[in-house]
Amino acid sequence: MKKIFIITFIVILFVLAFAFYKLVFSQKEKTILQMTEDEAFYLEDVRIFGNHMNLSGCLDTKLDSDLSLILKSDEDEFVIDSTFSSNDGKTCFSLSDKNNEGINLDELNEGKYLLLVKNTVEKDEYFYTIENSTDYKTLEYYTITKNNKNNKIDFKSVTDEDLNKNYIEFNIKDTKLPSDVYDITIDPGHGGYDPGASYTLNGKTYNEADLTLMVSLLVKKELEDLGLKVKLTREDDTGLYYYGENGRADIPNDVKSKFSISIHLNSDYGIMSYGGVEVYTPNDVNYDLASLFAKNIGQIVGYSKKATDKVSNGIYFQYFTSRDIEDSRKEAIEKGNKPYDIKEGAPYMYMIREVGGKQTYAYVDGRNEDVGINKYYDAIQVAEPYLLEIAYINYESDLYKILNNTDEFATAISNSMKEYLKIS
């Protein structure tokens, strides 16, 4: 009798010890994925503009509690700035309506993360996976070079067969930048068959194409001094195609650069000469970078007095109005071309609109063979494009500065990038 009691006691002791062990260690043993709910969010949209990623998605259930979008690894939890809304029995998240906002990909730490939604109910945390319902199952991004270092971010959709779960992973590793990947593209406007605007000063005629190249070569050098890898669309007086193999608008995305900066000189033929800088921006962006360009170049030549398309001092956004679209349609038909599907509000300048792909309503889709095809007209991962009219070629005090203080313009542009990208 006593023996049985002892054995029973020992068995109970073992059971209790095992239960205690399970209780203490089970949390650790569970992978993040095992902790997630059965129901999953689905990703509806993903895009990368410059160095920012934007995401949106939904869950077919209404959740009213404290929700956040997170990147979670074994050790780390990174909260993504996001907005949740609940209606029609759904719960949806989005990041920003600005193309150049969302997740700053250059600021993520190395590691392997799951993209999850965390629901905090009182003190309990519930995690939801996010299934990728978009057409873009894998994306790769090379961070901007800082201190001679780059990370490669692999965004991919993964299926765990055992747990029957689909989820999104961010795998971030230190890497060397491949030889064909660049940080920034600088595009010296015009060239070759296209000299751009010109002006004769003291008997000498200056062409826009030569002056933009002169400035761009200096900008390249200054950006390289900051450690950035810079691609020029042309390095001499070569005439470029707009689209197609080596097309000017394709180059920034061919080399996976995060920013594309076209450098031009303005010209007006009216009675009044404006002078000063005009920074042309893409649609739906915050003006953080544009403001830096305008401020720094404006310190040399002042802000342009042009009022049309003006957003604020030195910052301009020129876009297709419904009337422009109708004019363009008529012109295409007259020339025997097929009219493009131009969206109202699309940036007017092709080095902004076409470089920015889907997010800037690029439309050169190859329907007119003689125009060519922009390989990236439908792309969701693109360079963030700007066009800088750094001064007026026919405003003599501006032209003097371009000729005599060329390096000041280069420094203004490189300092803007340095400050925006927080390069120390």
Output 57 or 276, the one with its CB closest to Zn ion.
276
Q: Which is nearer to Zn ion, 76 or 237 (CB)?
A: 237
Determine the Cα angle at 204 with ends 203 and 207, to 5°: 140
Please, what is the minimum distance in Å from the beta carbon of residue 389 to Zn ion?
A: 7
- Which of 102/196 has CB closer to Zn ion? 196
User: Can residue 102 be called a binding residue for Zn ion (CB under 5 A)?
Assistant: no
Q: How far is the CB of 216 from Zn ion (least distance, A)?
A: 12
Task: Give the range of 189-197, 316-324, 353-361, 378-386 binding Zn ion by CB under 5 A.
Answer: 189-197
Query: Which range touches Zn ion (CB under 5 A), out of 153-161, 247-255, 256-264, 342-350?
Result: 256-264
Nearest to residue 254, comparing CAs of 106, 387, 382? Answer: 382
As a whole number of angstroms, the distance between CA 89 and CA 102 comes to 26
Q: How many residues bind Zn ion (CB under 5 A)?
A: 3
How far apart are alpha carbons 348 and 341 in whole angstroms?
A: 14
Characterise 378 by phi-psi region: left (phi > 0), alpha (psi -120 to 50), beta (else).
alpha
Label the pairing between strands 83-87 and 66-72: unpaired
| Smallest separation (angstroms) from Zn ion to the CB of 167 | 48
Residues 11-40 touching Zn ion, rule: CB under 5 A, are none
Q: Which residues 6+ apart lie within 8 Å of 412 measured at CB?
A: 293, 296, 297, 299, 300
Interface residue with Zn ion among 47, 52, 258, 264 (CB under 5 A) is: 264
By CB under 5 A, residue 188 contacts Zn ion: no
Choose the binding region for Zn ion from 73-81, 183-191, 214-222, 343-351 (rule: CB under 5 A). 183-191
In the block, tokens 């569970």 appear at 30
Closest residue to Zn ion, judged by C-beta, is 264
Single out the segment in contact with Zn ion by CB under 5 A; choices: 84-92, 188-196, 198-206, 393-401: 188-196
The answer to whether residue 72 forms part of the interface with Zn ion (CB under 5 A) is no
Query: How far, in Å, CA of 83 to CA of 64, rounded?
Result: 13
Q: Which stretch binds Zn ion (CB under 5 A): 40-48, 140-148, 259-267, 286-294?
A: 259-267
Q: In whole angstroms, what is the distance from residue 356 CA to residue 384 CA?
A: 6
Among 102, 196, 252, 357, binds Zn ion (CB under 5 A): 196
Residues 322-361 that bind Zn ion (CB under 5 A): none
What is the rounded distance in angstroms from the CA atom of residue 365 to the CA atom of residue 371? 9
**N-terminal to C-terminal alpha carbon distance within the chain:** 80
247 binds Zn ion (CB under 5 A): no
From the CB of 240, what's the least distance to Zn ion, in Å?
13
One of 102, 189, 252, 347 touching Zn ion (CB under 5 A): 189
Q: Label residues 352-377 b or e (16+ Cβ within 10 Å = b).
A: bbbbbbebbbbbbeeebeebbbbbbb
**Where does this chain bind Zn ion (CB under 5 A)?**
189, 196, 264
